[in-house]
Amino acid sequence: MTYLPATSRRAALVTGASRGIGRAIALRLAADGFDVAIGYAGNAARAEETVAAARAAGAHAIAVQGDVAQAPDVARLFDAAQQAFGRLDVVVNSAGIMTLNPVAPAGVEAFDQTIATNLRGAFLVLGEAAARLGQGGRIIALSTSVIARAFPGYGPYIAAKAGVEGLVRVLANELRGRGITVNAVAPGPVATDLFFDGKSEEQVAQLAKLAPLERLGTPDDIAGAVAFLAGPDGAWVNAQVLRANGGYA
């Protein structure tokens, strides 16, 4: 189905939106009145499910496949969103992977893969957003609250996400005078497939108890924080990292 540009509505591009936190963000933005482009890496069926749910919420929505670590793919994501909606107001980079490896030479391939997706991908998406968005635009990246915990095995993931937080602050300054905000949301443990992968029930239970609220976050918890930054009430928040973690760190 082809939609004509909906110039009276705002439009958002969300990467990594076929499942988990990215999906929740896309659907929350759809409910808040945004048309949404669903960026995904490989699972077309899951992406189309997100598109269908966004349309059910009243949004125009499309799915666009692309690897955020590849500059041509990132450009194509943005081209597709702007062609479909005639505008682009909000960009959320939620695409990411998490592998657990010690800081050791044997883990360098996993390190390189994590850096490519989580940090290089953020660099490309944020940079493309900076080139495309106009006055009042919002750029939001996903970081992680595990940075403050420094758990063994999280070295590659923490290194990449710490880099993302640095990029957010630098880009906010580079966009001085253009009326575009750049922020990050740093979730604590959130009940997603990415979080559960490779963890035992005992480990999950321990992590759930770390925050004073004594539960795992939900994708909707994080989507609410992103929606705040993307909406009118977040207009004066810039170059910040919002740690949505229940007091975890």
Catalytic pick from 40, 154, 157, 248?
157
Spatial separation of the C-alpha atoms in residues 30 and 18, rounded to whole Å: 14
DSSP H helical segments within the chain, as ranges? 20-31, 44-56, 71-85, 108-114, 121-132, 155-174, 193-196, 201-208, 219-230
**How many CB atoms sit inside 10 A of residue 200's CB?**
9
**How many CB atoms sit inside 10 A of residue 194's CB?**
15
How many angstroms separate the first and last alpha carbons of the chain?
45
Q: Which residues pair with 93 in a beta bridge?
A: 15, 141
- Look up 157 and say whether it is catalytic: yes
Q: Do the beta carbons of residue 238 and residue 184 sit within 8 Å?
A: no
Distances (CA, A) of 189 to 62, 159, 193: 29, 17, 11
Task: Give the single-character DSSP code of 19.
Answer: S
Spatial separation of the C-alpha atoms in residues 52 and 20, rounded to whole Å: 16
Catalytic residues: 157
